[in-house]
Structure 1
Amino acid sequence: MAIRWKPYLLDEAHPIEVSRLEPVEQAWGVRLPETYKQLVCRYQGMAPEPCVFNVGGAEDVFNDLLTITPIAGRESYSVGRVHEVLAQHLHPGIFPFGRTPSGEYLCFDFRNTPDTPGVVLVTGELSILPIANSFQEFLEGLHDG
């Protein structure tokens, strides 16, 4: 199923150049998946449709793609800010890319597979729940509720 991206943080797309991701990769010491880079450069701050994913025998919602460039008044939606907060509580190797409606975070998990990170959900209690073995697998698993 094709994913459509609709406005969420802003009324329209806020595209960026892929070069804006280089400082993020350098700061985190990782190489982000190419599919993610392409999407976030075009759709940062937007919401996917379909948006439902399976996690731990239940369903949750991929609410929005965090931004690479902070948006005035919405800095809490940037990967840098979210990573700063989560890094104080989680093992190294977990990096955020999206949010759920309840404020939980979709993250890349580089801990065991640095070349192809898995996708996990970091809950409000800071539990780490596996979702998919790759970002591509995660995207392919999105469905309607």
Structure 2
Amino acid sequence: MATIEDATGGLNEERLADLEMQWGVALPSAFRQFLLTHNGGYPVPDAFTLVGSEDGSSVHRFLGVEVGSHSNLENYMKTYESRIPNDLFPIAHDPGGNLVCIGTGGSNMGRIFFWDHETEMDQGPPNYSNVSAIADSFDDFLDGLYEVNLD
């Protein structure tokens, strides 16, 4: 499993419950626990592959609550709420400005997805045309992270 570095320290339960109420979402338990323990940071190793593809990316940073502006979960929610499907919740970003999201409802509950801004629809409501699966759960996502060998 990945080690989380440069985390800001755990978020308290009351603040996390406020966040969920504010955004009208019940976060999956594994990601809730991650926020309570780490509240952001970056994983080592950090690379992932999309399901059924050789393509992938890396986690530049996990989002946290009340952290710097470049990784503030609430800022990302405000920026992307009308751009990502409403059953996805941003949890991290890659170096290119794409998002890693967690499913918050229905058959996608707890699943991890990659949202690609390069293929985002210009018009209409957000859909899954630019979304790819990464893992069936947050724990599977963390367990599946690997180091890219550039040799």
TM-score band, normalised by shorter chain: 0.7 to 0.9
Superposed CA offset, 1:99-131 (max 9, x none): 1111111101235326x3211111123321111
Identical columns (%): 21
Q: How does 1:1-145 map to 2 (within 5 A)?
A: 2-7=1-6, 13-55=8-50, 56-69=53-66, 71=67, 74-113=68-107, 116-125=109-118, 126=120, 127-145=130-148
Tell me how large the CA RMSD over aligned residues is: 1.9
| Moved >3 Å (runs of 4+) | none
SS at match of 2:107: coil
- Inter-CA distance 34–15: structure 2 relative to 1 (3 Å threshold): same
Q: Any gaps of 5 or more consecutive residues in structure 2?
A: 121-129
Instruction: Check conservation: 1:64, 1:100, Cα contact below 8 A.
Output: yes
What displacement does 1:49 show?
0.8
Instruction: Check conservation: 2:60, 2:94, Cα contact below 8 A.
Output: yes
Superposed CA offset, 1:11-43 (max 9, x none): x63332122111222233322122212222232
Measure the CA separation in 2 of the matches of 1:58 and 1:110.
24
Q: Any gaps of 5 or more consecutive residues in structure 1?
A: none
SS at match of 2:65: coil
| TM-score normalised per structure 1 | 0.81
